[in-house]
Chain A
């Protein structure tokens, strides 16, 4: 049994935590079914970027979402609706679907359920608009206060609360590309040890010019789409956008209302990679630690886990570091463990990635199938695990999902099929 910080929790009075609702929007489409169908078919959902000018960039495509022309049923005032930003739009769709799936009543939703959101850039497009106006027309203040309000991440959270009648405290975690997984892990602990019966959590990020240009400046974006995580000839990542949210509650709460339980969340690990601001430790030290900690909390051995939805960005350094971490974590059992990166289909959703990949892992657990990385031509030598290149049926009891971010933010979640 791996040891880690998880062992310290055993003295606490712990509650079992289950996921009863999930919502998702990506470039693959809106909703659980569209995404499940797309991933099962191994579709790749990339298109030309229409949101900003990429003519001076090396890359012109991303997993841009085609926003539905309507919002889910909401309580926003016309003025708020008119000013809704793209990130809030994504977040609303995912949360509304999660709440609908959960079947919580309006009163239950309004009953101080805490929300935890993960994002790396929030409504960066509003910040960009503020900046551009301030530079071009320094004395033109009209609309600027609104832009700066909407740029701030708490605005998306409050918009979400107002739109869907939620009235709980908000926590916004910005741990780069691990944010969404951290948010779900944080909510998990709020229920498991914190006395909360229910929680809503997930992550989101919308494409923005600043972030796109940032990854391009680092030459981290692939110029040869499709991106090819774990391919020996991979050359970078593709960016995407979207959101995913889950509703979580104690097992007792779910049972009391005869709720359909999608899966049980049983382990969370978080660690910090101090090797470099943007590069992982080559042997995956911190990744190994977050996987071990999650396993310790879940009271599982690596051999108990059948599938890993990896972080798998497709950058040369990330994939080999994660691969080494998986090898070290699984030991002699590594060949038995199925691994894929679903970023090959929708791109890297940054602060939304961990939450989206949690929901994809839920799809796999519920449907008993493995989402593939369809773009691999020549697997990297680090792939001593079973790299899933085509969707296939599988018996899954436990699934692990990894998220690693800039700044060394690492997070791992473990989901269990609910029996």
Chain B
């Protein structure tokens, strides 16, 4: 478990997001704070009697410079989401430093389903006639393609992992990045969670709950080590050990244990903001509701506003959690992130304001 004291050395120097609210962290945060669910669409596939509810990412308001990069000409949406959120979190000044080899950047990209749009399309082509299956699509089906594109756009040749897992895995990604930073494997690290909507996934999600509204996008944090304790950025105070769903640990128990671990590791102040993963689904919310049922503090449920973007949702929770601590006079003593994954693990994290505040 990461250190839970206020001298926690990992600081959040940048945030970025793409969501149904728009192509920036600001639009994500504004929509989240409004607590107003965005409208959703119903999509029907020929022959399927169950329309899928989705909240897609809108087209960007203005052309994006990075979108003209040759690597992004033929990609599916997820690579654009990863790139946009990553570049926003990194910022132009640091991006230039990476290009000039002045900043050793690590990249962690986290998916639950990943590059599913081209995977489904390519497999359909294989079933139709493998001789005509597209050699352009296939490489984009590989899980680490988006991370590769981002690295190419940034000219980043350092360590770069794509992690797979359920939605809670994003917090493990933050822990991995923290390990890289504390062992000086990189100077700064982007951690990006992303997903894209496809009919395959929207129909799959409906198998678990009819209430689901599938969403898409990406969330990114840019982390650095605060070697001398002077940074005025929010900090990661604690990430709990993952509680896995095994023979002797069901999802309900695991969610409760996750909260207990968080409270054991870190002081949970009265004026903390809880960013949970509730999405108005009786089935899927049960474990997390049970774990946090007696929470009397403020809470925000991003999935209720933006939809369930699987791995990206927990990244959004983290982006919003960091944003709430960025101001000079933060409203909260800490922000708590609760991630109760569907079929692997429950993990929680606590962020704290800059020490100077």
Contact = CB atoms under 8 A, between A and B. Distances in A.
B129 A56 contact: yes
B184 interface: yes
Interface in A134-157: 134-135, 138-139, 141, 144-145, 148-149, 152-155, 157
Contacts of B151: 272, 274, 408
B49 A214 contact: no
Contact of B122 (A139, A190, A210, A271): A210
Interface string B106-119: 01000111100001
Contacts of A9: 183-185
A226 to B, nearest CB: 23
A182 interface: yes
A172 B122 CA distance: 24
B56 to A, nearest CB: 20
Given A162-B247, A277-B139, A170 B344 contact: yes
A4 to B, nearest CB: 10
B165 A148 contact: no
Contacts of A283: none
A161 B127 contact: no
Interface in B146-165: 147-149, 151-152, 155-165
A406 B139 contact: yes
A407 B126 contact: no
A19 interface: no
Contacts of B161: 173, 175, 182, 186
A56 B131 CA distance: 7
Given A148-B204, A213-B130, A167 B244 contact: yes
A154 B166 contact: yes
Contacts of A335: none
A138 B244 contact: no
A174 B164 contact: yes
Task: Please indicate which of the listed interface residues A217, A219, A271 has the most CB atoms of chain B within 10 Å of its own CB.
Answer: A217
A409 interface: yes
Interface residues of A, number: 75
Contact of A209 (B114, B120, B126): B126
A270 interface: yes
Contacts of B62: none
Contacts of B50: 139
Nearest to A173: B161
B160 A57 contact: no
B332 interface: no
Nearest to A139: B49
Interface in A360-408: 405-408
Contacts of A119: 164
B172 interface: yes
A218 interface: yes
Contact of A155 (B123, B129, B186, B343): B343
B238 to A, nearest CB: 15
A3 interface: no
Nearest to B126: A213
A216 B159 CA distance: 29
A176 B124 CA distance: 22
Given A12-B184, A274-B157, A409 B148 contact: yes
Given A130-B200, A131-B120, A274-B152, A218 B138 contact: yes
Contact of B148 (A75, A214, A407): A407
B183 A173 contact: no
Interface band, chain B: 35 or more
A162 B250 CA distance: 12
A286 interface: yes
B123 A210 contact: yes
A122 interface: yes
Contact of A171 (B46, B149, B176): B176
B144 A217 contact: no
Contact of A271 (B113, B159, B244): B159
Nearest to A285: B157
B163 A134 contact: no
Task: Please indicate which of the listed interface residues A9, A12, A277, A285 has the most CB atoms of chain B within 10 Å of its own CB.
Answer: A277
A331 interface: no
Contacts of A149: 343
Given A139-B48, A170-B344, A131 B130 contact: no
Task: Please indicate which of the listed interface residues B50, B134, B184 has the most CB atoms of chain A within 10 Å of its own CB.
Answer: B184
A100 interface: no
Nearest to A214: B138
Contacts of A75: 247
Nearest to A194: B179
Contacts of B47: 138-139
B124 A135 contact: yes
A158 interface: yes
Contact of B207 (A144, A272, A285): A144
A54 B282 CA distance: 45
Contacts of B298: none
Given A172-B164, A174-B144, A175-B161, 9 more contacts: A112-B241, A134-B200, A138-B47, A153-B165, A158-B344, A169-B241, A189-B179, A214-B139, A277-B145
13 contacts: A120-B142, A127-B119, A152-B113, A154-B169, A170-B344, A171-B172, A172-B165, A214-B133, A270-B159, A273-B157, A274-B157, A407-B147, A409-B144
Interface of A: 5, 8-9, 11-12, 56-58, 75, 77, 112, 119-120, 122, 127-128, 130-132, 134-135, 138-139, 141, 144-145, 148-149, 152-155, 157-158, 161-162, 167, 169-176, 182, 186, 189-190, 193-194, 209-210, 213-219, 270-274, 277-278, 285-286, 289, 405-409
